[in-house]
């Protein structure tokens, strides 16, 4: 029995090692494939009509909770109403195509590099090509803690294309729009946020480690040859001087001024000087300070318009090779397992503590 136990343990360890190696190979290969594929813009726009999706959900729920006779009666009444509305539209000369205004729904999940801007730009190009100016609208569901200034500046510039095309832009923040995320958010004609969403962080920072003294202690020299007085200022390996720090501080201040001016351009009623402190506020606090226009989650905003608008979710999908699909499968499974194990350990370690 001891032999079988040891043999089984050996097989389990070997299998675990093999799976880990396969996972690493797939992740590396798929990352390279994604980089090549995205550079070629190989993909297509996917469209999903949210009105129909909501109706399916509603019908499934009604079928479960309503009496069969009552359900039939309601369905009959709905058909009669739809027939009357159809006749009214025909009498008024309104076709099915132009009977309703349209809302196009976009999503942006931001990271440090605002990588999702590539998908966003394709979707915006498609919408601008087909949407009816001053009639159709766009809702962007935005989530981002911010990141690189130039990347988020480019993302915000993409959103200005919608306004230039005379399409009303609403941006909904359910979780967070901070720093570069708020730079994007302020472009909206109407900005809504959930009560506990994080809003703000209107500031700029530069930070990097410096190991110059560590290298000196180990008698390691760092050589750098530049042309131009400020080609390099603060560095990780070299010795940083007060002159270097002053130059970077000037650049940070200038970038902060550009950030504040950009916000003022799109939210002229906002007292930018009082909120451009780098602080973060909840949605409720942001409303009181004029950073947002209303408290509302994106689902609520959409559901109130289902009867009056045709609503389409629009996203850009890259063509994925087998390796990429397998990588996503492994990554998702690994992340879920890690989350379950970690959170379970935390619960066992401290059952009396609340997390918020």
Token pair of 142 as six digits: 């935005």
**Angle subtended at Cα 206 by Cα 203 and Cα 212, rounded to the nearest 5 degrees:** 160
Taking the mean position of all CA atoms in its chain, how far away is CA 8? 45
Write the CA distances from 148 to 153, 155, 197, 294, integer angstroms. 9, 11, 21, 28
CA distance 71 to 44: 40
CA distance 179 to 11: 50
H or E element in which residue 48 lies? strand 43-49
DSSP string for residues in 56-107: HHHHHHHHHHS-HHHHHHHHHHHHHHHHHHHHHHHHTT--TTTSSEEEEEEE
Residue tagged active-site, from 35, 231, 274, 351: 231
Phi then psi dihedrals of residue 13, to 5 deg: -65, -40
H or E element in which residue 47 lies? strand 43-49
Residue 76 burial by Cβ neighbours in a 10 Å radius (0-12, 13-18, 19+): exposed
CA distance 177 to 199: 5
CA distance 141 to 171: 6
Residue tagged active-site, from 179, 201, 298, 327: 179
Question: Is 231 a catalytic site residue?
Answer: yes
Burial 98-108 (b: 16+ CB within 10 A, else e): eebebbbbbbb
Phi then psi dihedrals of residue 193, to 5 deg: -145, 150
Question: Is 327 a catalytic site residue?
Answer: no
Catalytic residue set: 179, 231
């Amino acid at each position: 029995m001891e032999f079988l136990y040891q043999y089984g343990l050996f097989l389990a360890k070997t299998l675990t090692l093999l799976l880990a190696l396969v996972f690493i190979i797939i992740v590396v290969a798929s990352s390279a494939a994604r980089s090549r594929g995205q550079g070629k813009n190989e993909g297509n726009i996917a469209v999903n009509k949210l009105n129909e999706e909501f109706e399916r959900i509603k019908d499934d729920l009604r079928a479960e909770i309503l009496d069969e006779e009552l359900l039939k009666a309601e369905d009959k009444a709905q058909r009669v109403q739809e027939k009357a509305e159809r006749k009214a539209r025909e009498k008024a000369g309104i076709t099915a195509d132009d009977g309703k205004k349209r809302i196009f729904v976009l999503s942006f999940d931001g990271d440090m590099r605002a990588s999702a801007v590539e998908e966003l730009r394709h979707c915006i190009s498609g919408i601008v090509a087909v949407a009816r100016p001053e009639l159709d609208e766009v809702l962007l569901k935005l989530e981002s803690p911010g990141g690189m200034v130039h990347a988020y500046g480019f993302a915000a510039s993409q959103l200005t294309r919608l306004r230039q095309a005379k399409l009303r832009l609403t941006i909904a923040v359910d979780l967070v729009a901070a720093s570069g995320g708020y730079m994007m958010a302020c472009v909206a004609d109407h900005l809504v946020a959930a009560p506990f969403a994080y809003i703000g962080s209107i500031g700029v920072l530069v930070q990097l480690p410096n190991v110059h003294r560590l290298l000196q202690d180990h008698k390691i020299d760092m050589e750098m040859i530049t042309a131009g007085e400020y080609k390099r200022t603060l560095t990780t390996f070299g010795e940083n001087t007060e002159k270097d720090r002053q130059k970077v501080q000037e650049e940070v201040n200038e970038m902060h001024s550009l950030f504040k001016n950009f916000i003022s351009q799109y939210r002229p009623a906002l007292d930018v000087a009082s909120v451009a402190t780098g602080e973060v506020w909840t949605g409720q606090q942001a409303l009181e300070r004029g950073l947002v226009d209303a408290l509302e989650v994106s689902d609520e905003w959409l559901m109130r318009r289902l009867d009056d608008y045709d609503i389409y979710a629009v996203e850009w999908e890259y063509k994925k090779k087998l390796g990429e699909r397998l990588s996503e499968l492994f990554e998702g499974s690994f992340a879920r397992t890690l989350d379950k194990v970690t959170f379970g350990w935390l619960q066992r370690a401290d059952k009396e503590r609340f997390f918020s």
